[in-house]
Amino acid sequence: MASLSAAISHSPHIFSPKSLPHHGKPKKICQSQCRALPLPGRSPICRMSFVSRWESRGTSNTRIFTSVRDVLLDESAEKVQLPKGDTWSVHKFGGTCVGSSERIKNVVDIIVSDDSERKLVVVSAMSKVTDMMYDLIDKAQSRDESYISALDAVLEKHKSTALDLLDGDELASFLSRLHHDISNLKAMLRAIYIAGHTTESFMDFVVGHGELWSAQMLSSVVRKNGVDCNWMDTREVLIVNPTSTDQVDPDYVESDKRLEKWYSQNPSKIIIATGFIASTMQNIPTTLKRDGSDFSAAIMGALFRAGQVTIWTDVDGVYSADPRKVSEAVILRTLSYQEAWEMSYFGANVLHPRTIIPVMQYSIPIIIRNIFNLSAPGTKICHPLFSDKEGAQNVESLVKGFATIDNLALVNVEGTGMAGVPGTAHAIFGAVKDVGANVIMISQASSEHSVCFAVPEKEVKAVAEALKSRFRQALDAGRLSQVAVIPNCSILAAVGQKMASTPGVSATLFNALAKANINVRAIAQGCSEYNITVVVKREDCIKALRAVHSRFYLSRTTIAMGIIGPGLIGSTLLEQLSDQAAVLKEEFNIDLRVMGITGSRTMLLSDVGIELSRWRELQKENGEVADLEKFAQHVHGNHFIPNTVLVDCTADSVVASHYYDWLRKGIHVITPNKKANSGPLDQYLKLRALQRQSYTHYFYEATVGAGLPIISTLRGLLETGDKILRIEGIFSGTLSYIFNNFIGKRAFSEVVAEARQAGYTEPDPRDDLSGTDVARKVIILARESGLKLELSDIPVQNLVPEPLRASASAEEFLQQLPQYDQDMTNNRQVAEDAGEVLRYVGVVDVVNQKGLVKLQRYKKDHPFAQLSGSDNIIAFTTTRYRSQPLIVRGPGAGAEVTAGGIFSDILRLASYLGAPS
């Protein structure tokens, strides 16, 4: 330090009173000169790292100048007592608010238009200036001569701004002070350049100039608008004591004394004060460290006992979550002090926790406002106000917001030798402290078998090495089993004062995470219950944030959807989704976002959601070659949407074979495709087992009765303890239509051709007449009832004449079918002679553990005989419904009802994932 001290002590620019910076109003010569002298609280030069050298040459100079100033001021000014209380409003403007001449004019408009009786304005340096000042020091101590041009850039930024804003004496006065300061800074930086290093005091002194200049300039512009005001160098007033944690603690008693003295000499109803900077008790300049301007505004608010402190920024207020991660985040109108500091600790862009402490003790509210959107009311941070309406707590109001911290690692120290051993935690965290790491979160089981804590990822290597070294003997002896590191973690915190003592909040939170297929690695909750903290994989963080935010009704339940098979049913479903999307968003808070549509040849993908009203047009313009694996990955890969569902509208067994992998990856599946549930029994059982052990949903209501609630009715009976005895029904809308119209003198082939013409049958009617589709529905219901049957176990009466089963085409089949009409006509005549009708039915005989599909005769008063059109009917005979079966009846075929059944499953999924029911 000797070379730096020598360089400074021989610099005429530093110690000549005439050359020292003028940081005051040039109203009186004595006052202006005194402000340039090395006085306590006035010139920060007087106490630096070279203080001992200066004092050895005689400290009497300092005392003489101080006494001269005091005498002059005491004689020239009457004592004016500072009026404290609600008449004062404090405004804090950050660097972006004063980043240009236009923005400074906006600030002046706000100051002037505020109708408070008295106003204190705390101002930061102009945007980027503090970074520029730090850069000056870095360049100087690196012996990079470009610090000179960098300092010129600082000068030019403030000079050009002043020329835009000021004129006359105000401009001349400001530019004079600016040039004095730049001259002194140049000399100091030269000394740092020669020495090759600096001290913290020098650094704090240099970087604090940005606030000095912006405060002086702003006060000049206010005066130019015809409003009298004084500016305050808060180093004269705000006294702080450095701590061992690179922070400072305000000395309120000493600061209050100095404020009273300052105000008695500078009484004004508008004061423009510097943010960020302060002094120590020894009058050494310092800063308030991180978020220092907000902190200084809160301290000044407490010293003045102000009515409120308004923090002006570039956002509309405090959001319920980071809006860059959750687009549906909402502005919170109020936050308690505790909620605000919990959210800020966990990474939310609110306020530094220390900012809240000074105002909290005097119940001074903090208002967060957007200087670029004055119409936004902002967020008020204050003591909670519990109204009568809020007494009836509901789940929406319990959690105020969510915050996240990324780039963390978990350290887990575990071993049986830890249990019941005093001092183990002390030793663990002592080792962590020794390497200077910051512990973000701690979790310990009551068994004391392990201690888990989170640290920044960049510090975890040093922490792990320190712990292994500290516990080497215990690890070698087996008392500790491991010191494990789990990298790539993030913290998610739910914050809300009303969470305290309210049952069910944790359950709701973890349920939302589970349904989004998020694994929780560690948990912590303080006894205050103001926050619940969980650790998740870093890649799951945004997905987890959106899932819990959605679950607590702070945003829509958003589901990423992929539609497979845009044929008749799939395209009808897309039309229904398009028609209903706006209503679902507005009334039910559900956002169904189709991220992809794929057929067998072409697929259409989107990162934000396909415009469903023109999906066919978009598919032609932007379609690409279909790739089912890429399709699923795209739909599921959007981490901004926590829940994914693939809707299979095909009858393809290849697509169905992917269900297991999709469910295993956390993708929900909805389908009318019967192939998976009626395929090989072992694959079906594997699929259902996976579904039951996870929170991934597999819905297939439309596999049996199109839009009819058959599967859900069966499940409801079983889940409530009823026992299924028999299920019997007409499961095919096609065959229902055919036999409902096979009456009178009509030929069977004529009715089949008519059904095909009307679109009731498959393109090849043999697919319906073979009975295979009904058999698949029977096997699905049999398996739902607990029977372990294969499709081959179901005897099926095939209605296709055996010679025609090998016909080359559907047309050839229909041409030859009239040759076999007589057999079916004979069957109808026998039934009519007995007062009966023919119906094609499927039967699940649970008692005898079998199923069958056949053409059956029913009396004309039987419910099955009274169908019309393509209706389906299913009768459940159970222990509760033994004498009179439970009957479900309705349309069982057609694209509209089948798509409606699928849509119903989609909405059921949304309800399970948190949408209001």
Residue 554: predicted pLDDT: 64
Q: Write down the catalytic residue from 92, 458, 777, 854.
A: 777
Q: Which of 132-136, 163-167, 178-182, 636-640 shows the lowest mean pLDDT across its residues?
A: 636-640
Between CA 138 and CA 130 the distance in angstroms is: 13
- 348 touches 365 (CB < 8 A): no
Domain boundary pick from 489, 522, 553:
553
Output the average pLDDT for the chain: 86
Non-local (6+) Cβ contacts of 387 within 8 A are none
In a domain, 3, yes or no: no
**797 and 885 co-located in one domain:** yes
Domain span at 840: 710-893
**549 and 581 co-located in one domain:** no
Between CA 576 and CA 904 the distance in angstroms is: 11
**What pTM, to 2 d.p., does this model score?**
0.68
Q: How confident is the model at residue 32 (pLDDT cuts 50, 70, 90)?
A: very low
In a domain, 357, yes or no: no
Q: How confident is the model at residue 181 (pLDDT cuts 50, 70, 90)?
A: very high
**674 and 763 co-located in one domain:** no
**714 and 768 co-located in one domain:** yes
**302 and 451 co-located in one domain:** no
Give residue-wise pLDDT tens across range 242-264. Answer: 887 778 999 999 999 999 999 99
Q: Mark whether 777 is an active-site residue.
A: yes
**199 and 177 co-located in one domain:** yes
Give residue-wise pLDDT tens across range 649-681. Answer: 999 999 999 999 999 998 999 999 999 999 999
Residue 555: predicted pLDDT: 65
Taking 60 as the threshold, does the pLDDT of residue 558 lie above it? yes
Between CA 98 and CA 213 the distance in angstroms is: 11
In a domain, 450, yes or no: yes
Q: How confident is the model at residue 917 (pLDDT cuts 50, 70, 90)?
A: low
Residue 906: predicted pLDDT: 95
CA 98 to chain CA mean position, Å: 30
Q: How confident is the model at residue 776 (pLDDT cuts 50, 70, 90)?
A: very high
Q: Which of 41-45, 134-138, 415-419, 628-632 shows the lowest mean pLDDT across its residues?
A: 41-45
Q: Determine the length of the chain.
A: 917
Choose the most confident range, by mean pLDDT, from 166-175, 526-535, 578-587: 166-175
Other beta carbons within 10 angstroms of residue 637's beta carbon come to: 13
Taking 50 as the threshold, does the pLDDT of residue 68 lie above it? no
The SS3 call for residue 117 is: coil
Choose the most confident range, by mean pLDDT, from 492-496, 753-757, 846-850: 846-850
Residue 916: predicted pLDDT: 65
Q: How confident is the model at residue 534 (pLDDT cuts 50, 70, 90)?
A: very high
Intra-chain end-to-end CA distance of the chain, in Å: 72
Q: Which of 62-71, 583-592, 664-673, 886-895 shows the lowest mean pLDDT across its residues?
A: 62-71
Name the CA dihedral angle for 223, 228, 233, 237, rounded to a multiple of 10 degrees.
-170
Please give the full DSSP string across 901-912, using - where no structure is assigned. HHHHHHHHHHHH
Between CA 780 and CA 771 the distance in angstroms is: 14
Between CA 91 and CA 316 the distance in angstroms is: 16
Residue 394: predicted pLDDT: 43
**221 and 308 co-located in one domain:** yes
Domain boundary pick from 520, 553, 586:
553
Helices (H), 82-208: 101-113, 129-141, 147-165, 168-195, 200-207
Structural domain total, the chain = 4
Domain boundary pick from 253, 279, 313:
313
Taking 90 as the threshold, does the pLDDT of residue 354 lie above it? no
Between CA 638 and CA 657 the distance in angstroms is: 23
Give residue-wise pLDDT tens across range 792-844. Answer: 999 999 999 999 999 999 999 999 999 999 999 999 999 999 999 999 999 99
In this structure, what CATH number is given to the domain that contains residue 298? 3.40.1160.10
Residue 444: predicted pLDDT: 83
For residue 39, give both structure tokens.
Answer: 């006085």
**589 and 623 co-located in one domain:** yes
In a domain, 575, yes or no: yes
| Of 361 and 516, the one with more pLDDT | 361
Q: Distances in Å between the alpha carbon of 94 and those of 53, 108, 157, 213?
A: 38, 14, 17, 14
In a domain, 524, yes or no: yes
Please write down the HEC assignment for all residues of 695-758. Answer: CCCEECCHHHHCCCCHHHHHHHHHHCCCCEEEEEEECCHHHHHHHHHCCCCCCHHHHHHHHHHC
Choose the most confident range, by mean pLDDT, from 395-404, 502-511, 534-543: 534-543
Helices (H), 401-528: 424-434, 460-470, 472-477, 505-515
Determine the average pLDDT of the residues in 284-309.
Answer: 92
Residue 421: predicted pLDDT: 78
Number of helices and strands in the chain (H, E): 37, 30
Determine the average pLDDT of the residues in 308-330.
Answer: 90
| Of 269 and 588, the one with more pLDDT | 269
Taking 60 as the threshold, does the pLDDT of residue 283 lie above it? yes
- State the maximum Cα–Cα separation within the chain, in Å, rounded to a whole number: 132
Q: How confident is the model at residue 399 (pLDDT cuts 50, 70, 90)?
A: confident
In a domain, 373, yes or no: no
In this structure, what CATH number is given to the domain that contains residue 521? 3.30.2130.10
Taking 90 as the threshold, does the pLDDT of residue 137 lie above it? yes
Residue 647: predicted pLDDT: 98
**671 and 761 co-located in one domain:** no
In this structure, what CATH number is given to the domain that contains residue 607? 3.40.50.720
Between CA 475 and CA 477 the distance in angstroms is: 5
**589 and 678 co-located in one domain:** yes
Give residue-wise pLDDT tens across range 372-394. Answer: 999 999 999 998 865 434 433 44
In a domain, 146, yes or no: yes
Q: What is the share, in percent, of the chain residues with pLDDT greater than 90?
A: 67
**594 and 664 co-located in one domain:** yes
In a domain, 57, yes or no: no
In this structure, what CATH number is given to the domain that contains residue 716? 3.30.360.10
Determine the average pLDDT of the residues in 734-739.
Answer: 93
Taking 50 as the threshold, does the pLDDT of residue 30 lie above it? no
**582 and 637 co-located in one domain:** yes
Q: Which of 396-400, 602-606, 711-715 shows the lowest mean pLDDT across its residues?
A: 396-400
